[in-house]
Amino acid sequence: MNYLKVTVSDLDAAQQEILIAQLSELNFIGFEQKEQHLLAYANEQVADLEGLALTLADNNAHSEIIPEVNWNEQWERDFEPIIIEDQVAIRAHFHKAISAVKHEIIITPKMSFGTGHHATTQLMLTQMSTLNFSDKKVFDYGTGTGVLSVYAEQLGAQKIIANDIDPWSEENAKENVERNGCNNIEVRLGDIDVVPEDNFDCILANINLNVLKSSMELLVIKVKKGQNGLLLSGILEENEDDITSIINTYTTEYQLYKLGKWLCIHVKI
């Protein structure tokens, strides 16, 4: 399986964040932010090339095809552990164990989104650490690497169902679930329709604005009232009014958290 690597130069941090949101909607699932440029990766077979050309029309960008093995080698060279306060650390299998935290997650992300480096994943993990997951039933919508599912189990969740539309993410999430010795996580390939269950105590959704908007009604139906509710991210601060106007049709009880230009919203139903 080959991947499309796109390098976009001459971007400041704010411009990179906006472009990540745009490329996420074009089936790009891996990103590396450098000081002045952004690296973005997608499965060559599913990348929206027409949308990519339009999005990058005014940017200094070039693309190349790389084989799977090259991606893995590059990731291993660049990946550094992430530590979020004293709660959770995310590292690769070749890093030394990190003992100064309550939880440790070992992730081999390959082409999947969710290494912990991006602000949206950090926001989700931070807010998850404040919630009670003991014996809870959780839906991880668009799981990527499976990092949120693994953390939910470590926090005490009894049952986690995770899905992703990308076959590589499904495979990678299953690998990471096994690597972390998890027993309560089921990973499914497909969109939200592969998860017909409801009555979830908590739904985790770190995706993008358009998916959240189109799925909000179904997510509200699937979550149990009076429990942990919905924890949503993948939303730029400039889209706050857009998403909260939809949330307000179901509830006014929600709280926003911000890191950089990204938002995480905890919605109580």
Q: Distance between CA atoms of 260 and 191, rounded to whole angstroms?
A: 29
Strand partners, 106: 91
Q: Distance between CA atoms of 192 and 209, rounded to whole angstroms?
A: 15
- What is the 3 state secondary structure string of 190-257? CCHHHCCCCCECEEEEECCHHHHHHHHHHHHHHECCCCCEEEEEEEEHHHHHHHHHHHCCCCCCEEEE
Domain with CATH 3.40.50.150 in the chain: 118-267
Confidence at residue 92, expressed as pLDDT on a 0 to 100 scale: 86
User: CA angle at residue 257 from 254 to 260, to 5 degrees?
Assistant: 150
Domain with CATH 3.30.70.260 in the chain: 2-77
Q: What is the pTM of this model?
A: 0.82
Confidence at residue 227, expressed as pLDDT on a 0 to 100 scale: 96
The pLDDT tens digits of the residues spanning 172-191 come to 899 999 999 999 999 999 99
Which DSSP string do the residues of 2-32 spell out, in sequence order?
A: EEEEEEEES--HHHHHHHHHHHHTTTEEEEE
Confidence at residue 113, expressed as pLDDT on a 0 to 100 scale: 64
Confidence at residue 72, expressed as pLDDT on a 0 to 100 scale: 63
Confidence at residue 35, expressed as pLDDT on a 0 to 100 scale: 79
Confidence at residue 94, expressed as pLDDT on a 0 to 100 scale: 83
- Domain 118-267 homologous superfamily, CATH: Vaccinia Virus protein VP39 (3.40.50.150)
Confidence at residue 70, expressed as pLDDT on a 0 to 100 scale: 64
The pLDDT tens digits of the residues spanning 83-114 come to 999 999 999 888 899 989 999 999 886 655 66
Confidence at residue 30, expressed as pLDDT on a 0 to 100 scale: 77
Tokens 């999005």 correspond to what residue? 55
- Name the stretches of the chain with pLDDT < 50: none
Confidence at residue 91, expressed as pLDDT on a 0 to 100 scale: 92
Confidence at residue 256, expressed as pLDDT on a 0 to 100 scale: 98
CATH topology of domain 2-77: Alpha-Beta Plaits (3.30.70)
88 within 8 A of 98, measured Cβ to Cβ: no
Confidence at residue 114, expressed as pLDDT on a 0 to 100 scale: 64
Confidence at residue 27, expressed as pLDDT on a 0 to 100 scale: 85
